[in-house]
């Protein structure tokens, strides 16, 4: 093997060797351009603990994997596929001689799930771990599980330029941490503020043109996505002569186009590479000494409530900004220009949010079931997967027949899991194979999972036609993968007639079968949510669709990929999906309960017929739905029932359990307990009776406590005059509002709760205006009464205002005439 070049990471390689002799795990932090991706795997080949085992290097992207393998092979004077090879979904360069395998993170999780002992593997290196992809987190959790239970000789190395070192080291059992401090070349970081209202494309063009004029060398510009790259390229067209090339670099490009983007510019020429985050890590674009960073990135965000993943354009993290700047100093001193104000850098998040916190977890949960783990918390995740998203994933897997109610993998689930596809599309392929249609289903699935195959149009049928006729290398590889999947599934032979994509896709997205409602391009899905197709699209006129991809927030979802279907397709392929039933429902406009017979598919109503107004439990449940829609304020609580609720609420606040919480939120969450059983005859909000509300509220109070309610929180206070006055419990403490004359002669303060809690007295004048509030009546008599008396006797001379009210006679009347 040739001698390895001297790069900044070379300084820590001896320490790495020594550490891995003594420890099974290590964390390596090295700045961009330090050479860790290429030098570390090659260096570890000579370590005695490796034996003849392979070293597996994980990369976050295919481009990075190919580039890393190519560079290492070049360093040792070989071709890719000999000592160094790579493996990814649509490409494989591995031979019997291969000892360093560069794989994408998703491929590694399949490797370890299929071979838990990782036979023949001596070390696993997680490169650029700071990106925190779902596959990287899951792969590390699985590798730690294997290391602790099956392979105590397995070495794990976690590497990154920007890494939350302490958390990762703790996860690896307080693993040693090595840091490479050096950088190949210095980088001059500059800031060019993008003005308010200036588009990112215009700011990028302005900065690139000016920098190109003033500086030498090629330029790497980071933009959030393909659309911005295309628009920026259009604006740059014609600005430079033939010695400058403008080339794009993003995930949808074919391998040749991606490789061309990172290839050195021919001698005497310059290159301007417009890239997404794909160029952020693990690759060197020779000749680049200038980076222009928009400061933006596009991240997928999964919404468990809608079941869709949408892309959001957000600010980069500090770690990503440092990675991008580092691209400028890989081969010579460089310049990094950031299109934001310098002061804004401090406000950036330290790291990009982990994908596990905002991803569809159905595939993860299926893999865990295959691993024999029902509870993800039993594995070592840096950030545990959110329970809400896990619950949604469990529900989907049960609906697809992939797991049973206990979370165990079913025979159908094994077939779904064996396919290297997202869960929904794998379920479609398994269902299609049973009908002899595996080939077509797998072709659709590969097309939908490989961005750009067949184009990016909404109409899946049209995309499929383009995919079939595409003779490009990537399309050929995609079709080959689909054929292998179909062969793996087997099943009966088809009729020879090519099935349409819509009926097949219904088995993947039953909740996204959609009916046109509200005009051209407007659809309602079986899950109850709306979606829109641009009116210029052919599918906008379709009566029904099955939607494979959409984006946007709930209430404003835009269809990205769909296929046309008919009701007959649903009836033929999913006969149990359309049901006829009687429904009781709340009509918000009239605030009444209605009934109807409907024929429906989920939330899609095909036909409905009105029925007589319902009664009983069905009516009460529909009325409860009305309460959920309109809120508890819409319920007509009579005064005495409102007071009952306030009394119970006061005891809950002052004593706590077992006195029930009767706040709005608590009562709405327990409508099935206190409301539904007592409202079977109401028929609408106008028919709700106070006695039924009172009985329902009391049902929440334990029977043995009900007798204590009157004693601890009485409804009224009986004044010395014999008059009864209501006690108000709607404030922070019980309040009694009473004319001061009715309390004459009272030497102790009024209390409730067996004398433990004083009432807040609001003493009012004969004109019913507040005079004073007090929690100490005897103190009031002996204190401020004198001032009150002096003021009040002038205003109300016909009423008694004695010098000694504690010993005066209480009264509700004015003084007799002549006194």
| Same structural domain, 136 and 198 | no
**Nearest 10 degrees: CA dihedral of 29, 32, 36, 39?**
-160
> For residue 71, what are the contacts with CB-CB under 8 A and spacing of at least 6?
37, 38, 284
Q: How many CA atoms lie within 13 A of 236 on its CB side?
A: 29
Identify which of 201-215, 489-503, 792-806 has the greatest average pLDDT.
Answer: 201-215
pLDDT exceeds 60 at position 819: no
Of 140-144, 682-686, 723-727, 746-750, the range with the lowest mean pLDDT is 682-686
| Same structural domain, 168 and 62 | yes
Q: What is the mean pLDDT of residues 569-589?
A: 90
pLDDT exceeds 90 at position 160: no
Task: List, as one string, the DSSP characters of 17-74.
Answer: HHHHHH-SEEEEE--TTS-HHHHHHHHHTT-GGGTT-EEEEEESSHHHHHHHHHHHHH
Nearest one of 164, 156, 152, 119 to 139, comparing CA atoms: 156
Strands 91-93 and 84-88, sheet pairing: antiparallel
Of 181-185, 186-190, 561-565, the range with the lowest mean pLDDT is 181-185
Q: What is the mean pLDDT of residues 274-303?
A: 84
Q: Does 225 fall in a domain?
A: yes
Domain boundary among 144, 179, 214: 179
Of 64-68, 255-259, 582-586, 694-698, the range with the lowest mean pLDDT is 255-259
| Same structural domain, 210 and 341 | yes
Measured distance CA(424)–CA(505) in Å, rounded:
9
Higher pLDDT, 325 or 181: 325
Asked if residues 647 and 729 have their Cβ atoms less than 8 Å apart, the reply is yes
| Same structural domain, 94 and 149 | yes
Measured distance CA(270)–CA(264) in Å, rounded:
9
| Same structural domain, 51 and 65 | yes
Q: What is the mean pLDDT of residues 426-436?
A: 93
Residue the block writes with tokens 């993947």:
508
Name the pLDDT band for 426 (thresholds 50, 70, 90): very high
| Same structural domain, 237 and 326 | yes
Higher pLDDT, 262 or 740: 740
Token output for 81:
């596929």
Give the ranges where 521-587 is alpha helix by DSSP (H): 567-573
Higher pLDDT, 88 or 31: 88
| Same structural domain, 729 and 690 | no
Residue 97 pLDDT: 95
Q: How far is CA 241 from the centre of its chain?
A: 46
| Same structural domain, 203 and 295 | yes
Residue 694 pLDDT: 94
Domain boundary among 179, 207, 236: 179
pLDDT exceeds 70 at position 663: yes
> 519: buried, middle or exposed (CB in 10 Å: 19+, 13-18, 0-12)?
exposed
Q: Does 366 fall in a domain?
A: no
Domain boundary among 160, 179, 198: 179
Q: Does 553 fall in a domain?
A: no
| Same structural domain, 708 and 728 | no
pLDDT, tens only, 295-337: 999 888 777 666 667 778 889 999 889 888 888 877 788 999 9
Residue 250 pLDDT: 86
Helix, strand, or coil (residue 252) = coil
Q: Does 347 fall in a domain?
A: yes
Q: What is the mean pLDDT of residues 764-780?
A: 91
Q: Does 505 fall in a domain?
A: no
Q: Does 155 fall in a domain?
A: yes
Give the ranges where 76-125 is alpha helix by DSSP (H): 105-114
CATH code, 202: 3.40.50.300
Residue 182 pLDDT: 66
- Reduce the secondary structure of 119-173 to three states and give it as a string: CCEEEEEECCHHHCCHHHHHHHHHHHHHHHHCCCCCEEEEEECCCCHHHHHHHCC
pLDDT exceeds 60 at position 545: yes
| Same structural domain, 163 and 289 | no
pLDDT exceeds 70 at position 184: no
pLDDT exceeds 90 at position 538: yes
Helix, strand, or coil (residue 716) = strand
Name the pLDDT band for 232 (thresholds 50, 70, 90): very high
| Same structural domain, 14 and 145 | yes
Measured distance CA(647)–CA(189) in Å, rounded:
66
Name the pLDDT band for 63 (thresholds 50, 70, 90): confident
Q: Does 377 fall in a domain?
A: no
Q: State the DSSP code for 7.
A: -
pLDDT exceeds 60 at position 817: no
pLDDT, tens only, 455-502: 889 999 999 999 999 998 889 989 999 999 999 898 787 666 788 999
Give the ranges where 591-721 is alpha helix by DSSP (H): 617-630, 639-654, 664-669, 671-674, 690-699, 703-712
Q: Does 44 fall in a domain?
A: yes
**C-alpha distances out from residue 64 to 159, 255, 266, 289, 644, Å:** 15, 11, 22, 19, 68
Name the pLDDT band for 503 (thresholds 50, 70, 90): very high
Q: Which domain holds residue 19?
A: 8-179
Number of domains in the chain: 4
| Same structural domain, 147 and 81 | yes
């Amino acid at each position: 093997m040739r001698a390895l070049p001297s790069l900044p990471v070379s300084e820590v390689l001896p320490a790495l060797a020594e550490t891995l002799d003594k420890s099974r795990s290590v964390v390596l932090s090295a700045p961009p351009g330090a050479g860790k991706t290429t030098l570390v795997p090659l260096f570890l080949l000579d370590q005695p603990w490796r034996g003849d085992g392979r070293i597996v290097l994980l990369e976050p992207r295919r481009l990075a994997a190919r580039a890393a393998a190519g560079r290492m092979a070049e360093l040792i004077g070989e071709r890719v596929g000999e000592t160094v090879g790579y493996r990814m979904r649509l490409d494989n360069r591995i031979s019997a001689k291969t000892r360093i395998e560069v794989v994408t993170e998703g491929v590694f999780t399949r490797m370890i799930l299929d071979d838990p002992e990782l036979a023949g593997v001596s070390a696993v290196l997680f490169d650029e771990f700071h990106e925190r992809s779902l596959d990287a987190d899951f792969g590390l959790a699985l590798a730690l599980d294997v290391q602790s239970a099956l392979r105590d000789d397995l070495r794990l190395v976690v590497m990154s330029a920007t890494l939350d070192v302490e958390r990762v080291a703790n996860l690896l059992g307080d693993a040693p941490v090595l840091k490479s401090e050096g950088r190949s070349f210095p980088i001059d970081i500059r800031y060019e503020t993008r003005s308010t209202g200036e588009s990112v494309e215009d700011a990028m063009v302005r900065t690139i043109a000016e920098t190109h004029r003033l500086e030498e060398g090629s330029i790497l510009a980071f933009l959030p996505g393909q659309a911005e790259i295309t628009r920026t390229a259009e604006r740059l067209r014609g600005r430079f002569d033939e010695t400058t090339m403008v080339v794009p670099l993003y995930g949808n490009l074919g391998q040749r186009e991606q490789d061309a983007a990172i290839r050195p510019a021919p001698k005497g020429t310059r290159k301007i590479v417009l890239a997404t985050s794909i160029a952020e890590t693990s690759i060197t674009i020779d000749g680049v000494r200038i980076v222009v960073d928009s400061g933006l990135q596009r991240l997928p965000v999964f919404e468990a409530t809608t079941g869709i993943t949408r892309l959001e354009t957000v600010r980069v993290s500090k770690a990503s900004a440092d990675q991008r700047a580092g691209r400028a100093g890989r081969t010579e001193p460089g310049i990094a220009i950031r299109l934001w104000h310098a002061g804004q850098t401090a406000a950036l998040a330290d790291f990009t949010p982990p994908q596990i916190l905002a991803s569809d977890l159905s595939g993860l949960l299926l893999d865990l079931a295959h691993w024999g783990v029902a509870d993800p918390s039993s594995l070592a995740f840096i950030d545990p997967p959110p329970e809400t998203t896990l619950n949604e994933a469990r529900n989907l897997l049960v609906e697809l027949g992939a797991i049973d109610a206990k979370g165990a993998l079913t025979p159908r689930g094994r077939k779904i899991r064996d396919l290297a596809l997202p869960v929904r599309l794998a379920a479609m392929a398994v269902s299609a194979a049973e009908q002899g249609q595996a080939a077509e289903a797998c072709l659709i699935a590969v097309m939908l999972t490989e961005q750009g195959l067949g184009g990016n149009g909404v109409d899946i049928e049209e995309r499929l036609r383009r995919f079939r006729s595409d003779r490009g290398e990537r399309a050929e590889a995609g079709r080959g993968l689909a054929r292998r999947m179909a062969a793996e599934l087997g099943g009966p032979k088809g009729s020879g007639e090519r099935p349409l994509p819509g009926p097949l896709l219904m088995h993947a997205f039953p909740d996204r079968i959609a009916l046109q409602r509200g005009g051209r391009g407007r659809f309602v899905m079986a899950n109850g949510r709306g979606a829109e197709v641009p009116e210029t699209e052919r599918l906008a006129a379709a009566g029904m669709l099955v939607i494979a991809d959409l984006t946007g927030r709930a209430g404003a979802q835009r269809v990205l990929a769909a296929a046309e279907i008919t009701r007959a397709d649903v009836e033929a392929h999913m006969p149990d999906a359309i049901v006829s039933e009687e429904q009781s429902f709340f009509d918000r406009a009239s605030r009444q309960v209605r009934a109807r017979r409907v024929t429906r598919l989920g939330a899609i109503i095909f036909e409905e017929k009105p029925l007589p107004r319902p009664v009983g439990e069905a009516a009460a449940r529909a009325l409860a739905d009305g309460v959920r829609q309109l809120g508890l304020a819409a319920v007509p609580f009579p005064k005495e029932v409102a007071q009952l609720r306030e009394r119970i609420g006061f005891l809950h606040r002052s004593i706590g359990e077992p006195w029930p919480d009767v706040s709005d939120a608590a009562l709405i969450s327990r409508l099935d307990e206190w409301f539904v059983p007592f409202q079977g005859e109401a028929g609408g909000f106008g028919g709700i009776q106070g006695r039924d509300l009172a009985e329902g509220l009391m049902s929440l109070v334990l029977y043995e406590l009900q007798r204590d309610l009157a004693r601890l929180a009485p409804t009224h206070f009986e004044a010395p005059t014999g008059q009864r006055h209501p006690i108000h419990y709607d404030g922070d403490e019980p309040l009694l509002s009473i004319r001061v004359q009715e309390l004459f002669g009272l030497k102790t303060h009024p209390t409730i709760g067996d004398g433990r809690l004083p009432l807040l007295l609001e003493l009012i004048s004969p004109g019913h205006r507040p005079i004073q509030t007090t929690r100490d009546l005897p103190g009031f008599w002996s204190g401020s009464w004198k001032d009150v008396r002096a003021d009040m006797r002038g205003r109300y001379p016909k009423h008694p205002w004695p010098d000694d009210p504690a010993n005066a006679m209480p009264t509700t009347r004015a003084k007799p005439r002549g006194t």
